[in-house]
Amino acid sequence: MLDLAILGLLFEQEMHGYEIRRRLRDELGLFANISFGSLYPALSKLERAGAVAVTSEGPSGAGSMIPSTGSLSGERAGLRARRAAAPLAASKRSRKVYRITDEGRIRFEQLLAGEEVDDARSFGLRLAFARHLPPTARLALLERRRAQLTRRLATDLARASGERLDIYTRSLVEHSTESTEHDIAWLDRLIDAERQGSSPVRSEPSSDPRHETPQHQTQ
Amino acid sequence: MLDLAILGLLFEQEMHGYEIRRRLRDELGLFANISFGSLYPALSKLERAGAVAVTSEGPSGAGSMIPSTGSLSGERAGLRARRAAAPLAASKRSRKVYRITDEGRIRFEQLLAGEEVDDARSFGLRLAFARHLPPTARLALLERRRAQLTRRLATDLARASGERLDIYTRSLVEHSTESTEHDIAWLDRLIDAERQGSSPVRSEPSSDPRHETPQHQTQ
DNA sequence: ATTCGATGTATCAACCCGATACATCGAAAT
DNA sequence: ATTTCGATGTATCGGGTTGATACATCGAAT
């Protein structure tokens, strides 16, 4: 679902459609080049459903209020218009800034915790917003994905060993098998880290307090 | 395109829709579970375009063609009444066996040599039928794909190093980068093998003539 | 001064997927 | 023996995705 991606981005801060596409491409990397033919209908549908609301003006803070948004989107606006000639006025083009509603937040958490973790995209999207999940659901997501990949690995191995294939198809199947094994090993590392990080309840809080300094920390 | 997959399978031997789906799933592994909502419209479209033709009977060869006379018109009516008519031909269910035409073979080679090698599926499909390509086009296909992955790797690396991401998104991006590197290494092996196997024009034909013995050899 | 590319919203045809319906058949379960 | 169940087989429908296209404004380079 594309709805999850939209709501997840709007969960952090309000923005317009083009910006949603840009972030999906540049930051997440998922939905490599999401089409506007998908994005705008999805936004309209979410608006009709009451999950998002449009605040028809106010691109990038515009200096009226909010010092926080100024710092957040500042690095983005900086490289876009680094001339600093007239940063206050900005552009008054036709742009519809979307904002998530309370209903949309509920919908977001429903989608994020949903059971349908079929494809790689859907899983990657959920993982990108996994910080909004409680640790239990986060672990469940990882293990669900791992089980899926294990099933796929079994069929891949059966196909690689049993059939008689030409060299190109065989190489394709073998490479697919290796990739799946690689994915499973990655998931195992994530699962381990998740188990390690959640159960030890900071036994020595004074010794080494969090030298990782995670940037986004929502809870 | 799904047309390429269909024509590629029919290129080897004629079969019906359900069988096409089964082979795509069990042998190729691409289009993991292709939907009938895609397959049957695609077959109809190919039939309208003259790329395939339907030979309304003949499951698994089963004793030459056998015009079967009246069953052509009454294939629908016959299936509910006929029981003991043909013990050799096995089931007389409603099945439409498709066969590729000369026009379809031309279309197949056009699609196979086409330049649009965007996604992984399209490339995997072409590679699965790469034995039908001349060595030059085969090498070009591999190198086109490698160039795409190299471009993607560059953007992935930029994303991984530049932005400040939470741990899950960062892990996702890093894993994606590793996967892309893995894919490139695989392509390099394929390209090397392709260069090794094509350029040496059997200088010693008597010494060690091709101990690989590929199973399918269509040309 | 004009071209060019990025930004921004929007729509369309074609395509693909998941679900569903209908129908036949072989085999296991009751 | 009959029912149930799963595999085989063709087909359609709604909804979501894509790629292309259109239109428009703006900043910057030629």
pLDDT at B27: 81
CA atom of A120 to C1′ atom of D27, Å: 39
Return mean pLDDT, chain A.
77
Tell me phi and psi for residue B211, to 5 degrees.
-85, 10
Sheet of B97-100, strands arranged across: B15-16, B97-100, B52-55
Q: What pairs with residue B54 in β-bridges?
A: B98
Q: Kindly tell me if the per-residue pLDDT of A217 is higher than 70.
A: no
Closest nt to B90 (CA→C1')? C25
Structure tokens at A22: 């840009």
pLDDT value of residue B204: 47
pLDDT in tens, A118-143: 788 899 999 999 999 999 999 999 99
Mean pLDDT throughout B197-218? 48
**Is A29 within 8 Å of B131 when comparing Cβ atoms?**
no
Backbone angles phi and psi of B53, in degrees to 5: -130, 150
Instruction: Name the residue among B172, B167, B49 with its Cα closest to residue B108.
Output: B49
E-state strands within chain B:
15-16, 52-55, 97-100
Q: Which nucleotides of C are covered by protein (CB under 7 A)?
A: 7-13, 15-21, 23-26
Q: Which of A112, A119, A166, A180 to mutate to test the interface with B (most CBs of B within 10 A)?
A: A166
Cα–Cα distance, B148 to B141 (Å, whole number): 11
Task: Give the chain B residue whose CA is nearest to the CA of A175.
Answer: B186
- Measured in whole angstroms, how far is the alpha carbon of residue B156 from the centre of its chain? 29
Q: Which nucleotide is nearest to B92 (CA to C1')?
A: C24
Question: Residues of B148-165 as b/e, b for ≥16 C-beta within 10 angstroms?
Answer: bbeebbeebeebbeeeeb
Chain A partners of B184 at a C-beta cutoff of 8 Å?
Answer: none
| Contact yes or no for B113/B133 (Cβ under 8 A) | yes
The per-residue pLDDT for B28 is 79
Q: Smallest Cα–Cα separation from A19: which of A111, B138, A28?
A: A28
Mean residue pLDDT across chain B: 77
**Comparing B213 with A179, which gets the higher pLDDT?**
A179
Task: Identify the contact set of chain B against chain A, taking CB-CB distances under 8 A.
Answer: 26-29, 124, 127-128, 130-131, 155-156, 159, 163-169, 171-173, 175-176, 178-179, 182-183, 186, 190, 212, 214-216
**Which range (A197-201, A210-214, B19-23, B130-134) has the least confidence?**
A210-214
**Percentage of chain B exceeding pLDDT 70:** 71
Residues 6+ apart with CB under 8 A from B126: B4, B112, B117, B133, B141
Q: What whole-number distance in Å separates Cα of residue B20 and Cα of residue B5? A: 9
Give me B165's structure tokens. Answer: 């991401």
Q: Which residue is nearest to nucleotide D12 (CA to C1')?
A: B37
Is residue A208 over pLDDT 50? no
C-beta separation of B215 from A165 below 8 A? yes
Q: What is the DSSP letter of A32?
A: T
Task: Average the pLDDT over each of A2-11, A58-67, A161-170, B56-65 and give the range with the smallest value.
Answer: A58-67
What does the block give as tokens for A46?
């979410």
Q: Which residues of B touch A214 (CB under 8 A)?
A: 166-167
| Helix runs in A17-134, H state only | 17-23, 36-48, 67-72, 74-80, 102-112, 120-128
What residue has its CA nearest to the C1' of D27?
Answer: A81
Asked if the Cβ–Cβ distance from A186 to B175 is below 8 Å, we say: yes
Query: Nearest Cα to B160, choosing from A9, A29, A184, A189?
Result: A29
Q: Is B124 exposed, middle or buried (0-12, 13-18, 19+ CB in 10 A)?
A: buried
Which of A67, A60, A19 has its CA nearest to residue A43? A19
Model confidence band, residue B94 (pLDDT cutoffs 50, 70, 90): confident
Give the three-state DSSP class for B113: coil
Q: Which of B131, B152, B151 is nearest to B141 (CA)?
A: B131
Angle made by CA atoms B125, B131, B137, in degrees to the nearest 5: 85
Give residue B31's pLDDT: 73
- How far does the CA of A35 sit from the C1' of C13, in Å? 15
Q: Where are the beta strands (DSSP E) in B88-197?
A: 97-100
Task: Select the more confidently predicted residue: B58 or A108.
Answer: A108
User: For the residues B13-36, what does the mean pLDDT come to?
Assistant: 87
Distance CA A24, CA A9 (A): 9
pLDDT over 90, % of chain A: 53
Question: Nearest Cα to A182, choosing from A154, A148, A149, A141?
Answer: A149
Nucleotide nearest to B79 (CA to C1'): C24
